[in-house]
Amino acid sequence: MDHPITVDSDACTRCGICMEICPMGIIAQDGPDDLPRLVPGGEAVCSRCGHCEAVCPAGAVSALYPASGPQHLPGGSAAIAPADLAAYLRARRTVRRYREACVDKETVEALLDVVRFAPSGMNGQPVHWLVVHDPAEVRRLAGLAIAWMREASRAGHPMADLFGVLVRTWDAGVDQICRGAPHLVVAHADAKDPMAYTDSIIALAWLEVAAPSFGLGTCWAGFFQIAAASSPALLEALGLPEGHAPQYAMALGYPAYRFPRVPGREPVRVTWR
Ligand SMILES: Cc1cc2nc3c(=O)[nH]c(=O)nc-3n(C[C@H](O)[C@H](O)[C@H](O)COP(=O)(O)O)c2cc1C
């Protein structure tokens, strides 16, 4: 890696917090008056998490991502009352009925920009996005998933019964694959990256949580993902970069209905030691 941290010697107060916060322990400060520095070989293990530049009270540590940042957070600007957060999270619902209206690309980009800050293992940030914005293309891809399920259930796939229901419903004009959503978001990543699946799920969970703040709803496209993982035709239609695999997909659009109530859920099951 070619991004050793640089520290503004005039601005740096030598407080040492960057050194304390570094998850890899690769920032050293020789004495109280010395500038923090990267230890030899530190570049190789730096995960570019940016905690050093984000935590610095003096803003003295250089940007690791010159194109995007660090952004200043005025005190208290990220505070949210637990009751407000609970109300927001509880109000989120899986959306299976969508309005026909398309979501403009700028809004989808703004949503993905929020998701960009999701955590990832070793800050690997492996997730890439395919946004199928054209509703007709979403239908075509759902149709390919159904075509694979039709064959798979004939061939005795262990999920044949469920596929049979999905196929019959599709034939009756109802899309249970992408839920008739105008858009489909596919998280994809290097097929060989062992962290990619978990990181993709986390990113999609963030997307799902952030979507209602944009007036949007989502539905995890689990049936779509099962087909995408097995159907060469569907995989080809996705047109992902060489070596990438679809990690998971999510339908996206404006919800047709509002849920005025929160459904019940299991109580918290916790063991204390
Ligand atoms: C990994 C995963 C896959 C899912 N796949 C589907 C799916 O293929 N179709 C669907 O309608 N809902 C799908 N769901 C949505 C769940 O059914 C839904 O989260 C659950 O019923 C709880 O409802 P809620 O999200 O409104 O709280 C999926 C959810 C998850 C987390």
CATH number of the domain residue 3 falls in = 3.30.70.20
Task: Name which of 190, 211, 203, 5 is nearest 88 in CA terms.
Answer: 211
- Mark whether 125 and 203 lie in a shared domain: yes
Residues 6+ apart with CB under 8 A from 2: 43
Establish if 189 belongs to a structural domain.
yes
State which residues form the domain around 129. Answer: 88-253
Any ligand 1 atom below 6 A from CB of 220: yes
Establish if 16 belongs to a structural domain.
yes
Establish if 9 belongs to a structural domain.
yes
Any ligand 1 atom below 6 A from CB of 37: no
Question: What tokens were used for 15?
Answer: 């407080």
- Mark whether 168 and 235 lie in a shared domain: yes
Residues 6+ apart with CB under 8 A from 168: none
Ligand 1: residue of 170, 177, 204, 219 to mutate (most ligand atoms within 8 A of CB) is: 219
Establish if 267 belongs to a structural domain.
no
How many Å is the maximal CA-CA distance in the chain? 75
pLDDT by 10s per residue, the chain, length 273: 455 688 999 999 999 999 999 999 999 999 999 999 999 999 999 999 999 999 999 999 987 787 776 788 888 888 999 999 999 999 999 999 999 999 999 999 999 999 999 999 999 999 999 999 999 999 999 999 999 999 999 999 999 999 999 999 999 999 999 999 999 999 999 999 999 999 999 999 999 999 999 999 999 999 999 999 999 999 999 999 999 999 999 999 999 999 999 999 999 999 999
Distance of CA 268 to the CA centre of its chain: 26
User: Are 121 and 141 in contact, with CB atoms under 8 Å apart?
Assistant: no
- Mark whether 107 and 204 lie in a shared domain: yes
For ligand 1, the distance from its centroid to the CA atom of residue 220, given in whole angstroms, is 6
Ligand 1 atom at minimal distance to the Cα of residue 223: 8
Establish if 80 belongs to a structural domain.
no
- Mark whether 101 and 216 lie in a shared domain: yes
- Mark whether 111 and 237 lie in a shared domain: yes
Any ligand 1 atom below 6 A from CB of 206: no
- Mark whether 35 and 160 lie in a shared domain: no
- Mark whether 96 and 48 lie in a shared domain: no
**Alpha-carbon separation of residue 5 from 66, 71, 179 (angstroms):** 12, 17, 47
Give the number of domains in the chain: 2
For ligand 1, the distance from its centroid to the CA atom of residue 262, given in whole angstroms, is 15
Any ligand 1 atom below 6 A from CB of 93: yes
User: Are 170 and 176 in contact, with CB atoms under 8 Å apart?
Assistant: yes
User: Are 247 and 188 in contact, with CB atoms under 8 Å apart?
Assistant: yes
**Residue 217's CATH number:** 3.40.109.10
Any ligand 1 atom below 6 A from CB of 94: yes
Q: Which residue has the least CA distance to atom 13 on ligand 1?
A: 220
Q: Which residue has the least CA distance to atom 8 on ligand 1?
A: 222
Last residue of a domain, one of 12, 37, 69: 69
- Mark whether 1 and 112 lie in a shared domain: no
For ligand 1, the distance from its centroid to the CA atom of residue 131, given in whole angstroms, is 20
Last residue of a domain, one of 34, 69, 104: 69
Establish if 260 belongs to a structural domain.
no
- Mark whether 24 and 159 lie in a shared domain: no
**Alpha-carbon separation of residue 36 from 22, 28, 33, 54 (angstroms):** 11, 5, 9, 15
